[in-house]
A and B are shown apart, each in its own frame.
Chain A
Amino acid sequence: MKLTKQIASIFLVVVLFGLFNLSMYQLMTRRLFNNFSSATQAQMIDVENFIPHNSNSDLAEVATTFSLTDNLPVLDGAAALVPVYASVIHNVYPEGSVTFVGGQFSKDNYYGENFASDSAMQYKNTVRGYKAIVDGDTDVFFCSAPSSEQQQYADECGVELVCVPIGLEAFVFLVNKNNPVDSLTMEQIRKIYSCQYTNWKEVGGPNRLINPLTRLEGSGSQTTFEAIMGDYEIGTKSPFAITGASIGFSFRYYLDGIVGNDMVKMLAINGVYPSKENVQNRTYPIVIQFYAIYRADNANPNVPLLIDWLLSNEGQTLIEQSGYVRIN
């Protein structure tokens, strides 16, 4: 009898720990496996799909007479804009301008690519990319506006960055597709992220905690989000918020076109859905510009030619065919 009780006690301990870990797995861990890297979302884009001059790539093609053959500006950009600048290379640069360490593409890299140092295409994403453009490693960088820290780094290095707006995009908020909330106002979003609203029922949803998610400091979406918050400070959420229903943010085409996750949905803001049409006619409240950025002292004569082409009808058509909204 005593032995039975002892074995039952041990069994109970194991079961209790097992149940706790199973709950933690269901609530949390199983949601963290996707494309794990040490930089949030760094590998959410599959660069292999956007390699120029490759028949398997998903890149825009436009009829153009503009082409570059030498002094090729090195292009880099944010994850969301890889389809744009890869398409530029695909349409304007000669074959062989994109090169790889070891001679061929490989994903066995921190960021999921292995561009050689002499390649005209690079992929450093926003945080590393801003440093590279200031340091002179990149000629043209495709991204949203710099954060105050990124601008400060340029100032400290005595580098003037020229930011030329080349396209429009919607900044979107997203929730799980089963969340019954379809629309929020700007005011509600600011109050959610400043933790004045902590339960979805306060904004017309279910009685469930709100888990407001932010991104890596210095990333394009985080910088845009901080600008949107205006005078509201980002609040400190309860540790229990993680058990609730989350809200996050991203860019429209990155979410809808590149990642294409059908388990989440974009929210309408002030009743306006972030469709391409509503970005074009500017009825969606959070339309941002994205830029081709270069150093003012860049001596490569092809940089201004490339910028002019991006603003031409051909360049704008390429931006549109890459999934974004033309600015001209």
Chain B
Amino acid sequence: MKNRTFYIVLFSIIGLCFVATLAHFIYAVYAYHHCSIIYFIGQELWK
């Protein structure tokens, strides 16, 4: 793959991943402020 093509593919994929992560983060922040705190505490991770 030519360098130019590679960087286009690489940054496109980084962009897509970044947008998906940002959407996930925004959803999590919004949902955190509106969720059931009882369920939230109940699902906490403990070893």
* A residues adjacent to B (C-beta < 8 A): 2-3, 6, 9-10, 13-14, 17, 20-21, 24-41, 44, 174-179, 213, 215, 242, 245-248, 250, 255, 259, 261, 263-264
Contact = CB atoms under 8 A, between A and B. Distances in A.
A261 B39 CA distance: 7
Nearest to B35: A32
A31 B25 CA distance: 14
Dominant SS at the A interface?
mixed
Given A3-B1, A41-B38, A9 B10 contact: yes
B15 to A, nearest CB: 11
A143 B32 CA distance: 25
A46 B14 CA distance: 43
Contacts of B25: 24
Contacts of B14: 13
21 contacts: A2-B1, A13-B10, A13-B14, A17-B18, A24-B24, A24-B28, A26-B45, A29-B28, A30-B43, A33-B31, A34-B36, A35-B39, A44-B36, A174-B41, A177-B42, A178-B44, A213-B41, A242-B32, A245-B44, A255-B38, A261-B39
Contacts of B18: 17
B45 A27 contact: yes
Contacts of A41: 36-38
B17 A263 contact: no
Nearest to B14: A13
A255 B42 CA distance: 12
A32 B34 CA distance: 8
Most chain A CB inside 10 Å of its own CB: which residue of B25, B27, B39: B39
A258 B25 CA distance: 31
A213 B9 CA distance: 43
Contacts of B13: 10, 13-14
B42 A176 contact: yes
B36 A40 contact: yes
A29 B34 contact: no
A32 B32 contact: yes
A245 B43 CA distance: 11
A261 B42 contact: yes
A248 B38 contact: yes
B34 A39 contact: yes
